[in-house]
Structure 1
């Protein structure tokens, strides 16, 4: 199985506590997900993120096909990092790490690292090259822009 990696780094003009407050709430996932994906949380307990928390949602990531996705927060260290993993969904592997640390010039450095794998062997590798990798990068581009608006556009 081929494992792919995407890493993004973004500076936020906000304290780590402000960043953590936003990103540790599953309710804010919809805000940073492109509208055309029809992201909708189906179930979560309404609590701030904690290890063992399960979040279920539906979305339409490709070709308007609706899928169910279940993630679990496997690790969470307040104001530092958390990891979400797909338990059920379209990927053979989805492991997403989120890190928050003080930036040298003030504010917060946020780093996202995703490791993922596509099922179906050779066909999955072709799909990744033609469609999936571009889609994931497009989602992160959208998130970068949305996060810039939310945290870095304050006058």
Structure 2
């Protein structure tokens, strides 16, 4: 059970960072390289408690579908999305937000199991953990960019 933990410092208010992190539209922007599309559930705007989204994306040359649901939600400090259907055996992604100096400390805890038993463990060791870490870092970089500039105004009406 690998757990990827990332911390990102953002010079922007807590509420803005929280809402950008649950923006379906921002997620699409941050995953342009995998051509992610929201095809069912909440497909635009902000996702909230007990809502789900199904994504279609291309990873490792294979088109995949992934459905996640927001299972815990406490604005603006914390939310969790968990896989309901998809290529992983399971995953739970905790999004934690703390006021830090003049901005926000955003913490991701991505806890997952690869499918396929021993083969999945080998894939994780060889490339999957690095691949997922890079995806999360790219997503966080886009959140930071939007939060710290006026770009957030295109997506949020705070």
TM range, normalised to the smaller chain? 0.7 to 0.9
1:56 is aligned to 54
Secondary structure at 1:60 match in 2: strand
Structure 1 range deviating more: 23-32 or 110-119:
23-32
Query: Where do residues 58-73 of structure 1 align in structure 2 (5 Å cutoff)?
Result: 58-62=56-60, 64-73=61-70
Secondary structure at 1:132 match in 2: helix
Q: Which one has a larger percent helix, Structure 1 or Structure 2?
A: 2
Separation of aligned partners in 1, 2:144 and 2:26:
15
Q: Is the aligned partner of 1:127 residue 2:108?
A: no
Separation of aligned partners in 2, 1:60 and 1:78:
31
**Deviation string for 1:95-139 (max 9, x for gaps)?**
000011100x21111000000001111111111111211211111
RMSD across aligned C-alpha pairs, in angstroms? 1.7
Query: Where do residues 1-155 of structure 1 align in structure 2 (5 Å cutoff)?
Result: 3-33=1-31, 35-45=32-42, 46=44, 48-62=46-60, 64-103=61-100, 105-152=101-148
Any conservation in 1 of the 2:17–2:143 contact (CA below 8 Å)? no
Any conservation in 1 of the 2:49–2:70 contact (CA below 8 Å)? yes
**Deviation string for 1:47-83 (max 9, x for gaps)?**
6332210101101122x20001100110111101100
Change (3 A) 1:82 1:70: same
